[in-house]
């Protein structure tokens, strides 16, 4: 008995030493992961524990982290234990090419390869960097860049242009689009571009750094263009409404003066473009990089080495999903047909009628937000 007891004790001690050695080899460290994903079929980024019928990107990510041995199983059940924080909370149907999450993991060998082995091909971890112990990807982010890919027939004038896929955007119309988009630059009161914000709510003021529509290109016989917008932070539906209003003006449904009017206290009926096409392109950590990027211990949170991988992922998973879904579901065509029922003369009655109509439509929901206002 004594020998048996002694043998068990020796085995237990040996197991503990092995576990200790393993932990020494792969200590827990605070890192950030660069993620790319196609959001189609997911109810957004953020995990809803206990709500299994609404699958999210984080469900698949956490499962891969546990299976690869980066985190213990109980950390997957309670994400606070690994100090998990996503930079931007993208909603249903929205994709990302440069999402960032921060968390504590065991730095195992071949960590990226092992995590990706347990992820579906439309979700990839493209990069990893060590960060400071107190780093929080949401709080330390000082700007976000989104893109919105749309068929150019969205800009065809309702009275004298063809409204179909054969439409091609001319130089003058593109210049008009960019002139209107430029109105958004700077700090404005965007209470009319989201829900549940009053005109005197200080958090409705947002700072837009850059916004521009690029040159059109043809895919699958449809001409597309990509609008890029960089801002400190965005409220729910803000980007989609910013683009929706410009489309309404260019198509001839609303006067140019409506943009200026929307900054004021009056309630303005701003149409919300479809969620399909919205992509989180990248998140910016300029202040963090200035302070820690060259301190000799940490790398700046820039991803120049990963640019090619990001571009390949977009071509393989994000763009084809947007193009094919647009062809099959015609989300832009269906939405454009609702513009005529909008009341651009600030009628609250018109807004209520339109809200009722949009709830009945098959709009793909997508959040532009990444701060506390974007729920």
The annotation places the binding site at 146
What angle, rounded to 10 degrees, do the helices at 171-182 and 238-251 form? 140
* Beta-ladder partners of 288: none
Residue 220, exposed/middle/buried by CB under 10 A (0-12, 13-18, 19+)? Answer: exposed
Helix (H) or strand (E) holding 211: strand 205-213
Residue-level length of the chain: 375
The answer to whether 222 and 327 have CB atoms below 8 angstroms apart is: yes
**CA–CA gap between residue 75 and residue 65 (Å, rounded):** 10
Residues serving a catalytic function are 91
Q: ∠ CA 24-29-30 to the nearest 5 degrees?
A: 175
Residue owning tokens 């196609």: 38
Instruction: Determine the distance from the C-alpha atom of residue 56 to the mean position of all C-alpha atoms in its chain, rounded to a whole number.
Output: 13
Which residues have CB under 8 Å from 333's CB, separation 6+?
none
DSSP-derived letter for residue 160 is T
Annotated binding residues for substrate: 146
Q: How many alpha carbons fall within 13 Å on the CB side of residue 208?
A: 21
Helix (H) or strand (E) holding 150: strand 143-151
Q: Where are the alpha helices (DSSP H) in the chain?
A: 2-25, 57-67, 73-77, 111-117, 171-182, 238-251, 257-263, 286-292, 307-313, 319-329, 331-336, 348-360
Residue owning tokens 């059109």: 216
The answer to whether 366 and 93 have CB atoms below 8 angstroms apart is: yes
SS3 42: coil
| Two structure tokens written together for 274 | 């479809």
Query: φ and ψ at 87, to 5 degrees?
Result: -75, -40
């Amino acid at each position: 008995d004594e020998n048996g007891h002694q043998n068990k004790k020796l085995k237990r001690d040996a197991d503990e030493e092995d576990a200790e050695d393993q932990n020494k080899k792969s200590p827990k460290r605070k890192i950030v992961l660069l993620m790319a994903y196609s959001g189609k079929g997911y109810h957004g980024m953020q995990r809803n524990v206990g709500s299994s019928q609404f699958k999210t990107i984080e469900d698949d990510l956490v499962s891969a982290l546990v299976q690869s041995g980066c985190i213990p199983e109980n950390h997957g059940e309670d994400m606070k234990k690994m100090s998990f924080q996503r930079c931007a909370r993208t909603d249903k149907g929205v994709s990302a090419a440069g999402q960032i999450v921060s968390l504590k993991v065991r730095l195992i060998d071949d960590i990226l390869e092992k995590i990706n082995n347990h992820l579906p091909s439309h979700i990839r971890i493209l990069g990893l960097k060590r960060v400071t112990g107190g780093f929080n990807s949401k709080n330390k982010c000082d700007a976000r860049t989104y893109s919105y890919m749309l068929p150019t027939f969205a800009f065809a004038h309702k009275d004298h242009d063809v409204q179909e896929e054969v439409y091609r955007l001319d130089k003058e119309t593109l210049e008009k689009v960019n002139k209107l988009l430029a109105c958004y630059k700077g700090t404005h009161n965007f209470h009319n571009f989201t829900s549940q914000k009053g005109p005197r709510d200080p958090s409705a003021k947002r700072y837009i750094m850059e916004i521009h529509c690029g040159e059109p290109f043809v895919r699958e016989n449809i001409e597309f263009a990509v609008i890029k917008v960089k801002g400190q932070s965005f409220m729910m539906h803000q980007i989609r409404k910013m683009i929706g209003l410009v489309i309404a003006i260019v198509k001839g449904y609303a006067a140019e003066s409506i943009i200026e009017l929307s900054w004021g206290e009056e309630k303005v009926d701003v149409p919300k473009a479809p969620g399909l096409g919205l992509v989180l392109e990248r998140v910016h950590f300029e202040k963090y990089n200035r302070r820690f990027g060259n301190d000799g211990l940490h790398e700046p949170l820039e991803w120049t080495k990963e640019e090619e991988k990001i571009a390949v992922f977009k071509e393989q998973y994000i763009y084809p999903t947007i193009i094919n879904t647009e062809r099959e579901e015609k989300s832009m065509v269906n939405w454009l047909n609702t513009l005529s029922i909008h009341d651009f003369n600030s009628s609250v009655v018109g807004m209520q009628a339109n809200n009722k109509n949009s709830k009945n439509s098959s709009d793909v929901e997508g959040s532009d937000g990444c701060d506390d206002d974007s729920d």
